[in-house]
Amino acid sequence: MSKDKRLHRTLAFAVIDSLKLIFNEDRYASKVVEKVLKRDKRWGSRDRKFIAETIYEMVRWKRLYNEIAGTKGHYTAENLWKNFAVFAVLKGYQLPDWNQFLDTPVRKIKGRFDELSKIRKFGESIPDWLDELGMKEIGESWDKEIHALNKQAKVILRVNTLKTNRNKLQKDLLAESIETIPLNNYPDALELVERKNVFRTEVFQNGHFEVQDASSQLVAPFLDVKEGMRVIDTCAGAGGKSLHLASLMNNKGLIISLDIYGNKLKELKRRAKRNGAHNIETRPIENSKVIKKLKKSADRVLIDAPCTGLGVLRRNPDSKWKMEPEFMESIMKTQAEILDSYSQLVKVGGKLVYATCSIFPSENEDQVAKFLENHKEYKFITENKISPQKSGYDGFYMALLERIE
């Protein structure tokens, strides 16, 4: 056994405490991880990496580990340790002689793993309803897609071209001991060779890049913006795509970033300042007047619609446990309403992009087809479906439509 494969008591307890909050109190994994990493100043980068990655692994494989451990989905402290033992055995850790690991059936764990891996809902660790829905939506390719969505997400940066270029950023990051590789076909993307906390770097503080998955970086260019245009980002959130649009437009023209959550727009303002993006104006959607005022006023409209988020399961593995089957129906209704409402903001001759981070046709091409049936003032131009299995990055869908009358 290599020295790395030893378990340390304080780190294991930090993982168990975090899982109690995620599994029993329905907390978000990302928030729990963020908090637990601040618990002990003495932890080095390797300790922090172990804690974060182990929590995510155990969330991702929750159903599989629970099935192997035979803990019946009850996450008492004792059962969490049994699940942790399954993780440790499968990952090749040496089990220390702690009370928590007494009588761990190592051979049985490995045998159960081999058996259960052959059954997709256990092997890919997903709820029954999601497995059935996946098969119904995308058929045979569900196997490969869900497998790809269980891999750990890579960390991708998007160069902020308002302040620097890709070559220079790569050198500047290297000077801060962060190695990256440029991605072909993604002009502004750099991939981290090794996971590191990039938010502490000087280049990040100076607004030279944002963290944004490669697939997500394809959405803003798909909108086909030009300098000087009036662009509306309707579901802007914290503004990853608004910021990308600002750099594509060289700060010329106007981007109006809308969202129903004012606190997300505050975060966007902070990010825009750091990015040196001066052509973004934020407007919270507090009532229907906000939309009415903007009717037929935009050259381009981006609808990055709320969705099941299945395309981004790698980075949010807990969402598959939080989601309910009914959510799919309600989100599709919301998508149709949003498309209907925000499409009115485009002026004649202007263009609209409808995008989601889902791989299910019901949320994607089917929505667009229904919309076009009821809106003869629009014509379909093109679409892009990004498969996690083929691209190696998040699953995304985007459709470009033009308003013709």
CA-CA distances (angstroms) from residue 179 to 182, 193, 212, 250, 392?
10, 6, 17, 28, 20
192, 154 Cβ separation under 8 angstroms: yes
Give the domain-ending residue among 143, 176, 211: 211
Do 248 and 162 lie in one domain? The reply is no
Do 271 and 352 lie in one domain? The reply is yes
Helix ranges (DSSP H) in 176-287: 202-205, 219-222, 240-248, 262-275
Residue 32 is assigned to a structural domain of this protein: yes
Angle in degrees, CA 307, 311, 316, rounded to 5 = 90
Q: Is 288 exposed, middle or buried (0-12, 13-18, 19+ CB in 10 A)?
A: exposed
- Report the C-alpha gap between 248 and 274 in whole angstroms: 17
Instruction: Reply yes or no on whether the pLDDT at 320 is more than 70.
Output: yes
Instruction: Reply yes or no on whether the pLDDT at 121 is more than 60.
Output: yes
User: pLDDT tens across 285-311, in order?
Assistant: 999 999 999 999 999 999 999 999 999
Do 284 and 336 lie in one domain? The reply is yes
Question: For residue 73, what pLDDT is reported?
Answer: 85
- Mean pLDDT for the stretch of residues 64-80: 94
Question: For residue 372, what pLDDT is reported?
Answer: 98
Closest CA to 271 of 162, 134, 117, 389: 162
Instruction: Reply yes or no on whether the pLDDT at 67 is more than 50.
Output: yes
Q: Is 139 exposed, middle or buried (0-12, 13-18, 19+ CB in 10 A)?
A: exposed
Residue 389 is assigned to a structural domain of this protein: yes
The 10 Å Cβ neighbour count of residue 395 is: 27
Instruction: Reply yes or no on whether the pLDDT at 282 is more than 70.
Output: yes
Pick the range with the lowest mean pLDDT from 74-78, 196-200, 233-237, 346-350: 196-200
Closest CA to 6 of 56, 42, 38, 46: 46
Closest CA to 11 of 105, 113, 88, 90: 88
Residue 232 is assigned to a structural domain of this protein: yes
Do 207 and 221 lie in one domain? The reply is no
Residue 379 CB-half CA count within 13 A = 5
- Report the C-alpha gap between 49 and 354 in whole angstroms: 36
Residue 311 is assigned to a structural domain of this protein: yes
Give the domain-ending residue among 193, 211, 229: 211
Report helix, strand or coil for 18. Answer: helix
235, 285 Cβ separation under 8 angstroms: no
Question: For residue 215, what pLDDT is reported?
Answer: 97
- Mean pLDDT for the stretch of residues 174-191: 96
Closest CA to 196 of 392, 18, 52: 52
> What CATH number should be reported for the domain holding residue 189?
3.30.70.1170
Do 40 and 187 lie in one domain? The reply is no
Do 50 and 64 lie in one domain? The reply is yes
374, 326 Cβ separation under 8 angstroms: no
The DSSP output letter for 85 is H
The DSSP output letter for 155 is P
Q: How many domains does the chain have?
A: 3
- What is the residue type of 280? I
Do 223 and 185 lie in one domain? The reply is no
Question: For residue 1, what pLDDT is reported?
Answer: 42
- Report the C-alpha gap between 401 and 346 in whole angstroms: 10
Cβ neighbors of 74 (< 8 A, separation 6 or more) are: none
Do 198 and 277 lie in one domain? The reply is no
What sign results for the dihedral spanned by CA atoms 224, 189, 354, 242?
negative
Question: For residue 227, what pLDDT is reported?
Answer: 97
Residue 238 is assigned to a structural domain of this protein: yes
Instruction: Reply yes or no on whether the pLDDT at 3 is more than 70.
Output: no
Question: For residue 45, what pLDDT is reported?
Answer: 87
- Per the structure, the complete domain to which residue 203 belongs is given by 156-211
| Owner of token pair 């966007």 | 268
pTM of the shown model: 0.93
Do 366 and 281 lie in one domain? The reply is yes
Helix ranges (DSSP H) in 212-304: 219-222, 240-248, 262-275, 288-293
Instruction: Reply yes or no on whether the pLDDT at 4 is more than 90.
Output: no
Do 117 and 167 lie in one domain? The reply is no
pLDDT > 70 in the chain, percent? 99
- Mean pLDDT for the stretch of residues 206-223: 97
Residue 135 is assigned to a structural domain of this protein: no
- Report the C-alpha gap between 59 and 16 in whole angstroms: 11
pLDDT band, very low/low/confident/very high, at 5 (cuts 50, 70, 90): confident
Do 95 and 55 lie in one domain? The reply is yes
